[in-house]
Amino acid sequence: MGALNLQEWNKLPISLAELCINTTLRCGQSFRWRKSEEGVWSMALHGRIIRLYQDPDNLYYRSTFPTTEIARPISSTTNASSLQDDTLPLLQHYLNLGPNLTDLYAHWSANDANFKRKAPKFTGIRILKQDAWEALVGFICSSNNNIIRISQMVDKLCRTYGPLLGRIDDHDYYDFPKPADLANSGVEQKLRELGFGYRAKYIYKTACMIAEKDDDWLDGLRNPESPAFGKDPVPGGAFVDEGREGYRLAHEELLALQGVGPKVADCVCLMGLGWGEAVPVDTHVWQIAQRDYKFGKSKHTSVTKATYDAVANKFRSLWGQEAGWAQSVLFTANLKAFSERLVAKTEVKEEIAIKEDPDAVKIEEDESAEAETIIKTDKVLVKGIKREADDKDQMLVETKHNVIRKSKRAKKA
């Protein structure tokens, strides 16, 4: 942490088991957070620049408003501090700090031995309550893509079409552009020049469709139990394996947008509209379903609609109301960027001992009574995570390769 001075920061006591921003902010749900060399996460959010830092006992946070906002006349009934004071409730909302995460993990583990085995190294993951429009655009970008490139694309989008909020430590912060900002002719061409590929047309068309509708159309699809920041929750109905009526309606409405298929619609439902039962079934989750939950006997390699629904329903029946949240934990555990944790001794420190005797690294027992898999362990050289500028050294780690056995029950045959 070095020269980082936390004197001027606000402090919120919270454990790493209840929130781990280092995992939550880079596991592929939000594509806009940036991490400094000091370990400070920062992003433009709700018209201000938010900075976050976490140690084992506290979350530290601070807001920086644009100069015009700070210079705004203060009414006689409003003191200076109340201008910034909504940062805490804003963060509590955005980081979704309401639920007790330890209890949730226990609940998901109770019916699921696989979750119980995988989750302990991926604690503190929360589903962010992101702006629905931002989530929509981000996940339209995600098709046939990887998290690093998606983040670069979203950054270009904000830099080109979003309002500049300020500059901190030689870094400019732009807020996310509005639908109307992307609904102009020439946007598709510009996005193609910026490297969006075939997604340029999807974003332009979807922006046009949203801009045509009422301003509150997208938020009208929200889970009433999880309203937008500043509004009061209303009961949203009883849970069912297929998902509640409101969720299915929201999903269907989103499918009408360009570049939005079932997976992207579920991402928006889960991370932008507050529908906890939305389970996005992507290539990773499909792999997980085949490897650990006995899916895959069907002949098609790609996920058909029927298979998609079957996988999502299976996970909803297994994990319940917040199935999408549980899915995200397993998704993160399956990401290559986090694969070092599968064999790392400790999860708190970023650095893995580079010169450590590889033979001293413990091999985890990962056999599952349920999963029909064979585990092979290999020693390989992998590069450090690209986005961490201070982590370029090559690390000697071990990875496991799972080989799917296709036979239905005859393990020994």
Partner DNA sequence: GTCGGGCCTCTGGG
Partner DNA sequence: ACCCAGAGGCCCG
Catalytic residues: 263
- For 352, the 3-state DSSP assignment is coil
Q: How far is the CB of 225 from DNA (least distance, A)?
A: 21
Answer yes or no: are the C-beta atoms of 133 and 341 closer than 8 Å.
Answer: no
Closest listed residue to residue 400, CA positions, set 372, 366, 370: 366
Nearer to DNA, 64 or 134 (CB): 134
Nearer to DNA, 78 or 146 (CB): 146
Q: How far apart are CA 282 and CA 252, in angstroms?
A: 18
Q: How far is the CB of 149 from DNA (least distance, A)?
A: 6
Euclidean distance between the first and the last CA atom of the chain, given in angstroms as a whole number: 55
Residue with tokens 């193609």: 192
Nearer to DNA, 87 or 123 (CB): 123
E-strand ranges in 162-211 read 164-168, 171-174
Q: Which CA distances in Å does 160 have to 41, 44, 46, 316?
A: 22, 15, 18, 39
Nearer to DNA, 165 or 273 (CB): 273
Closest listed residue to residue 122, CA positions, set 330, 367, 288, 399: 330
Q: How far is the CB of 123 from DNA (least distance, A)?
A: 16
Nearer to DNA, 22 or 87 (CB): 22
Residue 189: how many other CB atoms lie within 10 Å: 12
Q: How far apart are CA 160 and CA 261, in angstroms?
A: 26
Nearer to DNA, 58 or 258 (CB): 258
Residue 212: how many other CB atoms lie within 10 Å: 10
- Return all residues near 343 (Cβ < 8 A) that are at least 6 apart: 361, 362, 363, 364, 397, 398, 399, 400
Q: How far apart are CA 244 and CA 223, in angstroms?
A: 10
List interacting residues with DNA (CB under 7 A): 27-29, 142-147, 149, 192, 195-199, 202, 257-267, 280, 282-285, 287, 300, 302, 304-306, 327-328, 331, 335-336, 380, 382-383, 386
- For 44, the 3-state DSSP assignment is strand
Q: How far is the CB of 201 from DNA (least distance, A)?
A: 7
Q: How far is the CB of 138 from DNA (least distance, A)?
A: 10
Nearer to DNA, 105 or 139 (CB): 139
Q: How far is the CB of 258 from DNA (least distance, A)?
A: 5
Q: How far apart are CA 413 and CA 407, in angstroms?
A: 9
Q: How far is the CB of 275 from DNA (least distance, A)?
A: 13
